[in-house]
Amino acid sequence: MTISPFEERYSTEMNGLFDEERKLRAWLRVEVALAHAHAEMGNIPQAAAKQIEDAAKNVSLSRVKEIEAEIHHDLMAMVKALSEQAGDAGKYVHWGATSYDIEDTATALMMKDGLNLLEKRLQHLASTLRMLAQKHRKTVCIGRTHGQQALPTTYGMKFAVYYTEVGRHLERLAQLRPRIAIGQMSGAVGTMASFKGKGKKLQELVMKKLGLTAAAVTNQVIQRDRHAEAVAFLALVAGSMEKMAKEIRNLQRTEIGEVAEAFGKKQVGSSAMPHKRNPHKSERLCSLARLVRAYANVAMENIALEHERDLTNSANERVIIPESFICTDYMVKEMDSILEHLEFFPENIKRNLELSKGLIMAERLMLALVDKGMARQEAHETMRKLAIEAKEKNTHLKELAKEKLKQLSKKELEDIFDYTSYIGEAERIVEEAVKD
C-alpha cells in the first residue's frame, strides 16, 4: 500500500536512486569494494573477494527483510544475506567494518548520483529561462514593489533574474559535490583499530574503487554537517522554485491576468466553480518548498550527535535525505514544464501599464524637472503633490502635468509618458546576463 505521495504522485527518476533496492545495491557495492581492498592488501584471498562479488549479485531484498525481521538490524541483515550467498568466503564479509562504514559510504554514493541528476535538471531549467529571457527582453510590463505598481520593467528582466539564480545553484552544486562524495572505512569509533595498522591504506583503496574521497577523520559516522549542507542546498533550490511559482500565481490573479499556467481542454479548476482556472501547479510547488525547508532544519539538528555518535539522526535521515532529493527534483522538473508552457496575455500586460493613469511615470517627470534646473528635492515634492492630486481627481497624470508643469512642452510630455521608452538598460542587462 502506498502511503507517501513521493512514491507515485510526486515521483521522478530520483526515486530510483534512493529506493530500498538501490540502497541495498549501494551497501553491497561498498562491501564488495571492501573485500577487494582486503584482497589487494593480502588480508584475504583474491578468490574470496571474487566470491563475495559474485554473491552480491544474488542477494535479494526480500531475503534481507526476512533476516531483519528476526534480528532487528537492517545492515547486519544484509551482511548475513551476503554471507549466506558467499559460501566459505562469507567469513570475510564486512571484515573489520562497522555498520556506518557501509551505510554512510553508500549514502554518499546515492547523494552523489542524486546531485548528478539534479544538475542535469537545473541545466535544462536554466536553458528554458534563458530562452524566455531572450524572447521577452522587449516585453514591457509594470514592475511592482511592496505589492504596488512601481516602474516599467520587462519580462525578460524577470526571467534573467531567475536564470542567474539557477546559475548560482549550479555553482553551489559543483562546490558541494566534493564535500558530499566522502566515504569512510574507519571502524567502530573511527580509530581503525580493527584493521591492525592498515586502516588508512585500506580506506583509500575502498574509496578509490567507489569513486569517492576518503574522510580525513571520523568517529563512528561521517559528520552530519555534510548532510545538513546537502539538504540546505536542496532547500535553497526549492526556495527558488517557490519564488518563481509565487510570481506566476500572483500574475495569474484575475485582477492582473498577465500570465497563466497552461490549462488543458478537459482540465478542471474547481469542483464547485466551473469557471475557475487555478494555478494549482505553482501552488503545489509553494507547498512542497515548505517541506524541504523543514527537512533542512531537521538535518541541522542531526549535526550535534553525542560523543562518538548516537542514533538520533538515523530514523529521520531515512525520510529527509531521500524525500528532500525527490521533492526538489520534482519541483525543478515541474517548474521547467510550467515555464515551457506558460501563457502570456499581452492585452492585460498593456492594460496594467495604463492602470495607474500615468502615476508610474512620476519618477521620470521628476528627473525631467531636475534636467530643467529644478532642485532634486523640490522636484520630488512637486511630483509628490501632483501625484496625490491626480489620484484624488482620478485624472491622468499627463493631463495634470500639461496644465501645471509649464517647464515641459507637450512633445516632451508625450515622450515622457511612453512607457516602452523608460526601461533603462533592461535589454542590455538581459542580454549580458544570459550570454554565458
d(CA 222, CA 186): 10
d(CA 79, CA 101): 13
Residue 34 scores a pLDDT above 80: yes
Tell me if residue 143 falls in helix, strand or coil.
strand
d(CA 262, CA 337): 10
Give the tens place of pLDDT for each residue, 52-88.
999 999 999 999 999 999 999 999 999 999 999 999 9
Beta bridge partners of 343: 260
**Residue 353: exposure state from Cβ atoms within 10 A (0-12, 13-18, ≥19):** middle
CB under 8 Å to 245, separation ≥6 — which residues? 279, 281, 282, 283, 285, 286, 289, 335, 338
Query: Nearest Cα to 104, choosing from 17, 8, 182?
Result: 182
Residue 272 scores a pLDDT above 70: no
Write down how long the chain is.
Answer: 436
Residue 275 scores a pLDDT above 70: no
- How far CA 107 is from CA of 26, 234, 323, 332, 415, in Å, comes to 8, 16, 13, 22, 62
Give the tens place of pLDDT for each residue, 277-326.
788 999 999 999 999 999 999 999 999 999 999 999 999 999 999 999 99
d(CA 160, CA 335): 15
Measured in degrees and rounded to the nearest 5, phi and psi for residue 182 equal -120, 130
Give the tens place of pLDDT for each residue, 194-210.
999 999 999 999 999 99
Residue 174 scores a pLDDT above 70: yes
Q: Residues 119-147: what's their mean pLDDT? A: 97
d(CA 298, CA 312): 11
Neighbours of 260 (CB within 10 A): 21
Are the beta carbons of 226 and 212 closer than 8 angstroms?
Answer: no
Residue 276 scores a pLDDT above 80: no
Are the beta carbons of 270 and 278 closer than 8 angstroms?
Answer: yes
Give the tens place of pLDDT for each residue, 83-117.
999 999 999 999 999 999 999 999 999 999 999 99
Q: Residues 357-381: what's their mean pLDDT? A: 93
d(CA 37, CA 204): 9
Q: Which amino acid is at 417?
A: F
**Residue 76: exposure state from Cβ atoms within 10 A (0-12, 13-18, ≥19):** middle
Are the beta carbons of 103 and 75 closer than 8 angstroms?
Answer: yes
Q: Which three cell numbers stand for residue 344?
A: 502570456
- The catalytic site residues sit at 146, 270
Measured in degrees and rounded to the nearest 5, phi and psi for residue 91 equal -70, -15
Q: What is the mean pLDDT of the chain?
A: 94
Tell me if residue 151 falls in helix, strand or coil.
strand
